[in-house]
A and B are shown apart, each in its own frame.
Chain A
Amino acid sequence: MLIRKTAQRLAIAAFALASLLGPAVAKDWKEIRIGTEGAYPPFNNLNAKGEVEGFEIDYVNMLCGKMKVKCTWVAQDWDGIIPALLSNKYDIIVAGMNATDERKKKVDFTHVYTRVPPAFIAAKSAKTNDITPAALKGKVIGAQASTIHMNFLEKYYKDSTLKGYPTQEEANLDLANGRLDYIVADKVALLDFLNAKGKDCCKFIADVARDPVIHGDGVGMAVRKEDQDLKEMFNKAIDESLKDGSFKAVASKYFTFDIM
């Protein structure tokens, strides 16, 4: 009895606190704060001045212009990127985030705006392009921690040693110095690395077939479940940009192939 009372009081207190912190009424979306990671080039990255840049920044700024809203960007570590959305540090996540079932339990996703396959890359010395779990038995495979790529490895590559990194760049560094045999990540981000810093050390191995359960439908923008109006705004803007060619115009600045 006492326990139930305490639990009730705690729940009321938590609710009161949440309603103080969170938006109580539907907002009139004139200013939108966007959370991104800033460590996943070419999608989003921080330049030398600490400003966000990349495909997603250009694309969404374009959408904001069309929707006539003011958009500001916030850089947030990947591990905390969903919790920070839920605690109202910003209103929407645009960070190459795949819309998976696990994430959909906590947040809603807009329509998909990027669909690129995950892929394996390896050190130049890798002898085969076979990426079956049997072929990679005993190998050391790295991925960014807390990503679908890590979940994918956990599910299928149980006989390999798996290493999780805070950012993709640290994983790339460890592939270059030989600590890792393979890396799994979005193909686009990996090609970006292979064309620049990874030119001498590493090579492309193979695309990964999408597993819908793990990889989701593609990359979408995440919003809080209560912000359905914001989601609809962006859905409309995304759909239009895909139809009228403005998406392609921005994408072609960054990619030589179709990402949608």
Chain B
Amino acid sequence: MMDSLRDIAGLFLNLDILDRYGYRILQGLGLTLQLVAVSVLFGFVLGMLIAHARLSKSWLLSGLAYCYTTFFRGTPLLCQLFLVYYGIGLFLPAWRATLEDIGLWAYFRDAYIWVVITFTLNTAAYQAEALRGAMQAVPRGQTEAAKALGLHQFRILQTIIWPQALLIALRPLGNELIIMIKASSIASLATLYDLMGQTRFIFARTFDLSVYLYAAILYLLMVETIRRLWGLMETRLMRHTLR
């Protein structure tokens, strides 16, 4: 039974490749998920701060935040990655002695941290704009009413603005997560063996195009899973708006 299943699968898949390199593909998948999860989470925190800076009454703060989101949303992620990765490389020789003293050299020389930082900076810009829009969509009257009741500024954010804004931002934030999963494939150009990196490695050994097909299917699976989860979450969280 197992044998005939294998035969059928063999019509579509190159089982030899999966036997030899399946483990590498899974490792790559793990790194991709980790990269995206870490940078989207950090990006959310940073994005929240930037969204508030954008809405701040201080022109300096809102101006800086505006420049930030314009730059990171207006330039290619690959360009940003090379700027950060090789740009930092220029400073590494000078920093080396200090970093070795405090035992952080191993992290700073590695590509991982710089890829996470670049991805975080990039996704923070997109998330900030989504969050800013969502917060502006909460009617002003609610803030005024809360002030009239004597609520403190932070209390207003915590109990009135954020809960409503996050619901509005849910969909765009989900889209951003999906975009990051796909965009993260450029991590392989900075020496990381993420899903795309492993795929390129295997392709170089086998010259078998089907590896790229497997990678595409895995990306599709990730994206589709998240899309469905997001759909469920949205239905659940928005149930009070249904009539």
Contact = CB atoms under 8 A, between A and B. Distances in A.
Chain B CB within 10 Å — which of A82, A86, A150, A164 has the most?
Answer: A164
Nearest to A83: B207
Given A173-B86, A173-B89, A178-B96, A146 B109 contact: no
B5 interface: no
Interface in B167-208: 189, 191, 193, 197, 200-201, 203-205, 207
A140 B110 CA distance: 9
Contacts of B189: 166
A102 B205 CA distance: 7
A4 B11 CA distance: 8
A178 B86 CA distance: 12
Contacts of B96: 178
A145 B111 contact: no
B207 A163 contact: no
Contacts of B201: 145-146, 150, 164
A177 B89 contact: yes
A88 interface: no
Contact of B93 (A7, A140, A177): A177
A178 B92 contact: yes
Contacts of A164: 191, 193, 197, 201
Contacts of A173: 86, 89
Nearest to B209: A83
Interface in B103-145: 109-111
A33 B76 CA distance: 34
A192 B201 CA distance: 27
Interface in B1-38: 8, 11
B218 to A, nearest CB: 20
A142 to B, nearest CB: 8
A142 B109 CA distance: 13
A145 B200 CA distance: 9
A155 to B, nearest CB: 11
B111 A163 contact: yes
A165 B190 CA distance: 7
Contacts of B111: 163, 179
Contacts of B79: none
B178 to A, nearest CB: 26
B89 A146 contact: no
Most B Cβ at <10 Å: residue of A105, A140, A170: A170
A151 interface: yes
A146 B207 CA distance: 10
A106 interface: yes
Contacts of A3: 8, 11
Nearest to A7: B11
Contacts of B204: 79, 145-146, 150
Given A177-B92, A179-B92, A79 B200 contact: yes
Contacts of A102: 205
A159 interface: no
A174 interface: yes
B242 interface: no
B207 A178 contact: no
Contacts of A165: 191
B90 interface: yes
Contacts of B207: 82-83, 86, 105-106
Given A145-B201, A179-B92, 8 more contacts: A106-B207, A142-B191, A145-B200, A164-B191, A164-B193, A177-B90, A179-B110, A179-B111
Interface of A: 3-4, 7, 79, 82-83, 86, 102, 105-106, 140, 142, 145-146, 150-151, 163-166, 170, 173-174, 177-179
13 contacts: A102-B205, A145-B200, A145-B204, A146-B201, A146-B203, A146-B204, A150-B204, A163-B191, A164-B197, A173-B86, A178-B93, A179-B89, A179-B110
Q: Which 4 residue pairs of A and B lie closest in terms of their CB atoms, listed nearest first?
A: A146-B204, A177-B89, A163-B191, A177-B92
